[in-house]
Amino acid sequence: MITLDNIFYRVADLLGKDQYGKYVTPRNFNQNLIWCNLQLMDKYIKEFEATREVSTNLRPFLKTLGTPEDPKLALDSWGRALMPDDYYYYSSGYTSAFLNVCGGYTETQNMLEWVDNETFRFRIDRDMATVDYPIITYTTIKQSGGNYLAAVQVFPIKKSVAVTYLRRPTDPVFGYTTTAGTVIYDPTTSVPLEWPESAQDDFVELMVQCYARSIQDQFSYQVSNAQEAKQG
């Protein structure tokens, strides 16, 4: 696993400032951590979309609904189901059918194809979605309070489906104490990153880019103020 103190020191070193200097502080480090955490997830998801292979870096976030520990998604009469609170991205899924083979029933699994909303309606209207070729799409379900929650919709309609998805990564927290003006990493108050060691270089690169943009924006602001003061 990637350790937050290592990320902190590496980012500070790459920026060319003392790790406790004005560029990298625990406060702005924590702010950038959350943003970069999701940016890294999106980066690896784009790679997954190109290859359809779940990389080592994404495996810690895979969850499957359709196991003894996590039952399948139960669908309503419209073929819809709310996704779990930690849902971030759909990976794969299947529906089950039972065939009578030689007097006994055998379960077959039919892989769900993810399609956009327009394609979903198009295939249903033209009877192109069948038991052997089921489809799934993103939707929302309105709650009693008026808000909408993320959901999926499946056709043909089944009682339940098995779904594998990528969960949202937990927001990391860099815990620390200060002694004589020196910041000391505190693992007991920290929330660690969940990425494997193989993702460390990519995470550091994103953090540096985030700081670089912030530094550039600050510099541009200072130059603009100086020009306005000179003109005034």
Interval 175-222: pLDDT, tens: 999 998 888 999 999 999 999 999 999 999 999 999 888 665 444 333
Distances, alpha carbon 48 to alpha carbons 33, 54, 89, 114, 168, in Å = 23, 6, 11, 14, 16
Rounded CA separation 114/54 (Å): 16
Rounded CA separation 45/4 (Å): 23
Contact call for residues 163 and 88 (beta carbons, < 8 A): no
| E strands in 102-190 | 104-111, 113-114, 135-142, 148-155, 160-167, 176-179, 182-185
Rounded CA separation 9/209 (Å): 15
pLDDT of 84 above 80: yes
pLDDT of 17 above 80: no
pLDDT at res. 97: 80
The 10 Å Cβ neighbour count of residue 167 is 17
What percentage of the chain reaches a pLDDT higher than 70? 87
**Which residue's entry shows tokens 């990425």?**
195
pTM of this prediction exceeds 0.95: no
Of 181, 58, 160, 185, give the one whose Cα is nearest residue 109: 160
The 10 Å Cβ neighbour count of residue 70 is 13
What percentage of the chain reaches a pLDDT higher than 90? 72
Rounded CA separation 129/123 (Å): 6
> What is the β-pairing status of strands 160-167 and 62-65?
antiparallel
User: How far does Cα 105 stand from its chain's mean position?
Assistant: 39
User: How far does Cα 172 stand from its chain's mean position?
Assistant: 13
Supply 10's token pair. Answer: 């590496």
pLDDT at res. 104: 67
Interval 131-154: pLDDT, tens: 999 999 999 999 999 999 999 999
Interval 216-231: pLDDT, tens: 544 433 333 333 444 4
Where exactly are the structural domains of the chain?
A: 4-52+172-231, 61-167
Report residue 19's pLDDT band, with 50, 70 and 90 as the boundaries. Answer: very low
